[in-house]
Every structure is written in C-alpha cells, then in structure tokens.
Amino acid sequence: MRIAYRPYYLAVIVILLFSAVAAGAADQTVVLKAARMFDGKSKSLIPNSVVLVQGDKIVDVGSTVTIPSDAKVIDLGDMTLSPGFMDAHTHLTLDFTGNFNERRLKELQTNVSEMTLMAISYARATLEAGFTTVRDLGSRFVGSPEFVDVALRNAINHGISPGPHMLVATKGIGATGGHFDATGGYRDKLFGREPDPSEGIADGPDEIRKAVRFEVKNGANVIKAAVSGGVLSLADEVDTPQFTPAEMAALVDESHRLRKKVAVHCHGDQAAREAIEAGVDSIEHGSFMKTETLQLMKTKGIYLVPTLMATEYIMSKIDSYPPALQAKARAAGAARSEMFRNAVKMGVKIALGTDAGVFPHGDNAKEFALMVGLGMQPIDALRSGTSNDADLLGIGQAVGTLEKGKRADIVAMPGDPTADITATEHISFVMKDGKIFRNGPATPRTTAVRDDDVDLPAD
Ligand SMILES: [Zn+2]
C-alpha cells in the first residue's frame, strides 16, 4: 500500500516545490533607486526616489518608502527614473531612410518576409531607446496584403522578440491618388488594378466604413487616415484635403462605434479644420494649421502629435529627394515651427510622436529636444512623451505615470532631463512589464539594408 501511494506523495511534493519557486520568483521585490524621479505628472522632479516592483506592477513609489529586507536593490546612482517613454507615431515595420528613389525600388525588390525580419531589429532599437509603448500608424507594402504590424505586436506580446507594447493601425485609410495610395507616381495599371478598401484606399462614406471594418477585423487597435496630402508621396499636394466632410464623418463614426480612436495624417489647414469638426482624436503633423484651427482643437480637447523629427530628418538631406518632394518638404518645414510654437502658447494638448521610420528607428528621443527648442518647457516635453501619450492612446489607467498599481514600464537616464533635455537620448536602463531589457550599453543597431547590398532571390 505504502509503495503504491509513493508516486502520489512525490507528485504533490514536486508540485508544491514548483509552486513555491514560481511564487517566490513572482513575489521577489525589485527596488529601483535613483537620485531623481519624473513621475509622469508632477511639475518638478522628486529627489532621492525609489520605485518598488513586484511581478509586472509597481507596488510603491516615493522618497520615504520602506524597502523589504529580501528585496533585490538596483541603485542607479545619479540618474533620473521616468515612466517608459511613448511614441504616438511610429512605423516600426518600415524604413524610409536612405535615398528616396533607391528605397522605392528596393521596396519592389524585397520580399515582405525579409522586411518583417528587419522590423524585429527596429522594434528592439526602439525599446532599448526607452520607448516601452508605441502607436504604430501604418504598415503597407505595395501590391502585398500582409499585416506585419499585427504580427510584430503579437510576437512581442508573446515574448518571442523584444520590443515595445504596440497599438497598431494596419494599413491606414486614404483616398485614390492620396498620400496613402502606394501606387501613386507609378504608371497606370502597373499593379494590374486600382487599390481597394482592403488596401486602405477608399472613396465615399460606404467604402470608408468598409475599410475601417476590414482593418479592425484584421487586428487594428486604432484607425489612421490621411485627410490631407503628404510630403513623401508623388501624386498629391502637401496641404490639399483628401476626404470630404461626409467621408470624414463616416470615418470617425464607424471607428468610434467600434471603440477605436482616429488618428489623422494632416498637414493642410482646411483638412485639419474639417477633421476636427468631424471629431477625430489626434491630428498628426498639422504643419499648416492656423491659430483659429488650433483654438478649435483646444476647445474640443483634440491632441496634436507634431512629429518634428520627421521634418528635421528630411530637411537634413533635402537635396536627395526628387524636386517635387523637396518643394513640399520645404513648405511644410517652414510652416510647422510657428504652428508648434502657437500650439504650445495656446495650451493645445500635445502628445509626443515622431514618425520613426522616416528617420532611423531608435532616434525617437531626439523629439524631446526639438519640442523644447520650439518653446515647450522640459517637464512638459517629458509629460508629452509619457502621461499625455497614455491619455491619447486610451491606456492612462495602466501606464504613463510611476504610481502604485501601474504597469512596471520604467526607464532611467543620466543626470537631470529638466536641466538638459538631451538626457532623454541617453537612456541606459529599460524595464518593461517588470522585466529588465537593458541595464548598460544598447545592442548595436541593425542599419537599413542599402540598395547596393540587397540580396536578390536569385543569389
Ligand atoms: Zn507617419
């Protein structure tokens, strides 16, 4: 009898031991100490701060916190702790750096699977730069139906590859010949037919509703649309409206019915005014917005996502773009600084977003210094890249501040970012969901594959 029961007892003991080990691992408190803390909401930094983390949650924060004797203490010294940064406008699956025309050719040559593998390195670079959450606003491959942003988001969530939490927009929605029509600038019928709502190209309220439903069906967390022309597209003017008020109303109504927020790419003033009146949740870029339009935005509580980095990067190598795009970039670049200064002065809500992918992934934090350079207080820039983004993304209950009960997405940078905002570009500690992804030097970045070293399938 005793012999017969032995395996049962053994099994119970083994299970108990395993649960004790598992519980012990989950319960071990990690203590982060640093000379300063930006908590995501206060108007000044808090000296000599401590954050207690258990599992994936923050369990206590402050300068007078009791540290459990069995805790693992990580003393970061002369650093500033901050909620993980957020970027409300990235393209983690794309790389628009390098020469414009070479990149267009490369896009036609490269298998989408290969682009997906590259995207894994962009996601890692973004996380290691301190961005623990991104809103990814558009992932399209001309002539191919893949949802690489959805795949990347899911792979990161499953712990398969390191990267930020992603809210994805899939393909984005735009009009025929507009900024999102990837067949623009090529000869007619080169791709066999006009793109349709399943590729995000939609005309008229009904097609727009269909495109919204199709994107949500395939995993979109947010709806992105191009309501005015853009800079890096060949068949449109940068500031012309691309949807009618009736089309914008359908876009917003259908998205909000499905509980999805609407982010609109928009440079032009008329398109911005009509989009604001239709009730979108954020205006991306907003280069030519006049003060009356900004006032309307403020009244309605709509966010501006300025993407200063995109213009900055394009202007730094303006001569490499085709002449038509140079003219569009110069016009948008000349207008956006005054628009941004006005928005700051008027108190329009601003959420940090960069358009990463137009410039190399991982350089996102340079946006902080650009915003401060155009009149924003450093502490407000920090809020813009943490709690404001969390509010815009609709995830403020879970992240964006260092508070008890919030998810342990925490970064640290050297020195005092309110004295020198470029400290944000030197993150050296990254924790996401309570796990440490970086404490020291970053992984060397994978740069874009240039046209002259593309491996064609025949090789
Ligand atoms: Zn963009």
Residue 97 Cα, ligand 1 centroid: separation in angstroms? Answer: 13
Give long-range contacts, CB 8 A cutoff, 24+ apart: 29-32.
29/53, 29/54, 29/59, 29/68, 29/70, 29/71, 29/72, 30/54, 30/71, 30/72, 30/74, 30/434, 31/67, 31/71, 31/72, 31/73, 31/74, 32/74, 32/76, 32/81, 32/410, 32/412, 32/429, 32/431
Cα four-point dihedral sign 68, 74, 79, 81: negative
Cα gap 41→385, rounded to integer Å:
11
Residue 459 Cα, ligand 1 centroid: separation in angstroms? Answer: 33
Cα gap 432→405, rounded to integer Å:
14
CB 229 within 8 A of CB 242: yes
Cα gap 31→36, rounded to integer Å:
14
Residue 353 Cα, ligand 1 centroid: separation in angstroms? Answer: 9
Residue 260 Cα, ligand 1 centroid: separation in angstroms? Answer: 18
Residue 188 Cα, ligand 1 centroid: separation in angstroms? Answer: 25
Residue 246 Cα, ligand 1 centroid: separation in angstroms? Answer: 24
Residue 202 Cα, ligand 1 centroid: separation in angstroms? Answer: 19
Cα gap 341→345, rounded to integer Å:
6
| Crossing angle of helices 323-346 and 308-316, rounded to 10° | 140
pLDDT band, very low/low/confident/very high, at 455 (cuts 50, 70, 90): very low
Residue 238 Cα, ligand 1 centroid: separation in angstroms? Answer: 14
Residue 358 Cα, ligand 1 centroid: separation in angstroms? Answer: 8
pLDDT digits (tens, 9 = 90+) for 425-435: 999 999 999 99
Cα gap 215→169, rounded to integer Å:
8
pLDDT digits (tens, 9 = 90+) for 209-253: 999 999 999 999 999 999 999 988 888 999 999 999 999 999 999
Residue 138 Cα, ligand 1 centroid: separation in angstroms? Answer: 7
Residue 285 Cα, ligand 1 centroid: separation in angstroms? Answer: 8
pLDDT band, very low/low/confident/very high, at 444 (cuts 50, 70, 90): confident
Cα gap 387→303, rounded to integer Å:
13
CB 127 within 8 A of CB 429: no
DSSP code, position 180: T
Residue found under tokens 């996401």: 432
CB 171 within 8 A of CB 138: yes
Cα four-point dihedral sign 223, 228, 232, 235: positive
Residue 369 Cα, ligand 1 centroid: separation in angstroms? Answer: 20
* SS3 label, residue 120: helix
Residue 172 Cα, ligand 1 centroid: separation in angstroms? Answer: 10
Mean pLDDT along residues 145-161: 97
pLDDT digits (tens, 9 = 90+) for 181-192: 999 999 999 999
Residue 88 Cα, ligand 1 centroid: separation in angstroms? Answer: 10
Neighbouring residues of 327: CB distance < 8 A, sequence distance ≥ 6 = none
Share of the chain above pLDDT 90, in %: 86
Neighbouring residues of 94: CB distance < 8 A, sequence distance ≥ 6 = 115, 119, 138, 139, 357
Cα gap 177→242, rounded to integer Å:
9
Residue 379 Cα, ligand 1 centroid: separation in angstroms? Answer: 25
CB 92 within 8 A of CB 149: yes
Residue 230 Cα, ligand 1 centroid: separation in angstroms? Answer: 9
Mean pLDDT along residues 105-129: 96
pLDDT digits (tens, 9 = 90+) for 314-350: 999 999 999 999 999 999 999 999 999 999 999 999 9
Residue 63 confidence (pLDDT) above 70 = yes
Residue 430 Cα, ligand 1 centroid: separation in angstroms? Answer: 25
Cα gap 186→175, rounded to integer Å:
16
Residue 13 Cα, ligand 1 centroid: separation in angstroms? Answer: 56
Residue 355 Cα, ligand 1 centroid: separation in angstroms? Answer: 5
Residue 90 Cα, ligand 1 centroid: separation in angstroms? Answer: 6
Cα gap 258→95, rounded to integer Å:
30
Q: What average pLDDT does the chain have?
A: 92
Residue, of 277 and 451, whose pLDDT is higher:
277
pTM here is: 0.92
Neighbouring residues of 332: CB distance < 8 A, sequence distance ≥ 6 = 231, 238, 267, 285, 287, 288, 311
Residue 351 Cα, ligand 1 centroid: separation in angstroms? Answer: 14
